[in-house]
Amino acid sequence: MSQDMPFDLSLTEEQRMTRESLQRFAEKQIRPIARAADEAGAAAAGFYDSTVELGLTLLPIPEIHGGAGMPRDPMANVLAVEDLGHGDISLALGALAPLGVINALLDFASEAQQEAFLPRLAAERFVPAAVALMEGRATFEPSELTTRAVADADGYVISGEKRLVPFGADAELLLVIADLQGSGPAAFVVEKGAAGMSAQAADYMGLRALDTFTVSFDQVRVPALNRLENFDLQRLVDLSRLGVAALAVGCCQAVLDFSIPYVNERKAFGEPIAWRQSVAFMVANIGIELEAMRLLVWRAASRARDGLPFHREAYLARVLCADKAMEIGTNGIQLFGGAGFIRDYPLEMWYRNLRAVGVLEGSLMV
């Protein structure tokens, strides 16, 4: 539980150093390849492996399972997500999707389950893994799932369809959330190559650099061990909403950072457009709403870190971030005028990616 700490927004020395290196990575190794990846519909070969060096996935895995054994810290994760999101939302989501699974295992799996699955994710190379929660319905509600699981003699049988699943059948592990007959939503580890599982590539308005799939489960059998014992859907959803909101904060910061030099340099009527209030106020409002987004995310994440209830706080962060991400995304394009609409610039890509903030569920548990 929370000690009696002062209200404080300062980073620890360790956080400051981590942020610096993540920001450098985002700037040097994500941003320059983001557009090409968006156009190609895939990350460049070797990109995901290069993210393993950051150690984000290894950090929270206990030493006995091959990790560094650092404490679970949603707040630290939010900072990391924000920094990578500043580089590119799609690539950051791909790089961090396995961390979402690891965090879910740390929070919801028994000791035996952690021992069975965590070592597989603690590799030197990138191990694709993802949470499969979303389904194809306009009124989709994470607690009302059509994907079903039924208990049978030695395990469970899963049937249904999951959408917007990163990596699809290439994932080493998918954490599939399904309605377990008689007891509501449950989480099942489905391993690569499971019989009855098939994946179909699915493209979206944004997140194009991420390999996304519709995954079908036709009577897929998993052993009893694969059902996470202490699963808490609310927690998964809330912490994922924070992860996705943090991606939005990073990307909106990128919009602001990228727009400032442009409006200061771009001239119209003999002076920089930044000298016009209609332009300058738009920049000011991006800055103001970005601050609003960030603080709501940080508050919910720090509450989660301290074991305080944070459902309401995560909900509000999601609501504001989804709205403001769209506003900032579209205003970013507007500030650049025609150039914002041209694919040489990243603005339209950021806007398309930011659209996902209000859509994604379960994708990045921090």
Partner 1 sequence: MINLELPKKMLMVQQMSHQLASTVFRPISRKYDKIEHCDTPAELRSVAQMIAAVRPSQNKGKDKEQGAEDGIKNGANLTGIVGMEEMCWGDVGLMLSIPGTGLGNAAVMAVGTPEQKEQFGKLYCAMAITEPGAGSDSAAVSTSARLDGDEWVLNGEKIYCTAGQRCDAVVVWATLDKSKGKAAIKSFIVPRDNPGMTLVRVEDKMGLRISDTAALSLNDCRIPKANILGSAEVADTEEARKKAFGGVMQTFDNTRPQVAAMALGVARAALEITREILSKEGVKADFSKSLNNSTAIEAELYRMEADLDAARLMTYKAAWMADNRQPNSKEASMCKAKAGRVGNAITLKCVELCGELGYSEQFLLEKLARDSKIIDIFEGTQQIQQLIVARQLLGLSSRELK
Give the footprint of partner 1 on this chain (CB under 8 A): 2-12, 15, 75, 138-142, 256, 260, 263-264, 272, 274-275, 277, 280-281, 283-285, 287-289, 291-293, 295-296, 298-299, 302-303, 306, 308, 311-313, 315-320, 322-323, 358
Nearest distance from C-beta of residue 112 to partner 1, angstroms = 33
Nearest distance from C-beta of residue 119 to partner 1, angstroms = 32
Cα dist from 54 to 57, 126, 300, whole Å = 8, 11, 25
| Of 150 and 295, CB closest to partner 1 | 295
Nearest distance from C-beta of residue 246 to partner 1, angstroms = 13
3-class state of residue 109 by DSSP: coil
Nearest distance from C-beta of residue 354 to partner 1, angstroms = 16
| Of 201 and 281, CB closest to partner 1 | 281
Reported as half-sphere exposure (CB side, CA atoms, 13 A), residue 312 has a value of: 2
Nearest distance from C-beta of residue 285 to partner 1, angstroms = 7
Nearest distance from C-beta of residue 221 to partner 1, angstroms = 31
| Of 221 and 311, CB closest to partner 1 | 311
**Six-digit token string for 90:** 């799609």
Q: Which one, of 224, 220, 204, lies nearest residue 212 by Cα?
A: 204
The b/e string for 97-113 (b: 16+ C-beta within 10 A; e otherwise) is: bbbbbbbbbbbbbeeeb
Cα dist from 213 to 114, 127, 180, whole Å = 26, 17, 23
- Other C-beta atoms within 10 Å of 155: how many? 16
| Of 142 and 166, CB closest to partner 1 | 142
Q: How far apart are CA 202 and CA 146, in angstroms?
A: 20
Question: What dihedral do alpha carbons 348, 290, 26, 130 form, nearest 10°?
Answer: -80
| Of 232 and 323, CB closest to partner 1 | 323
| Of 109 and 274, CB closest to partner 1 | 274
Contacts of 263 (CB under 8 A, 6+ apart): 272, 273, 274, 279, 280, 283, 335
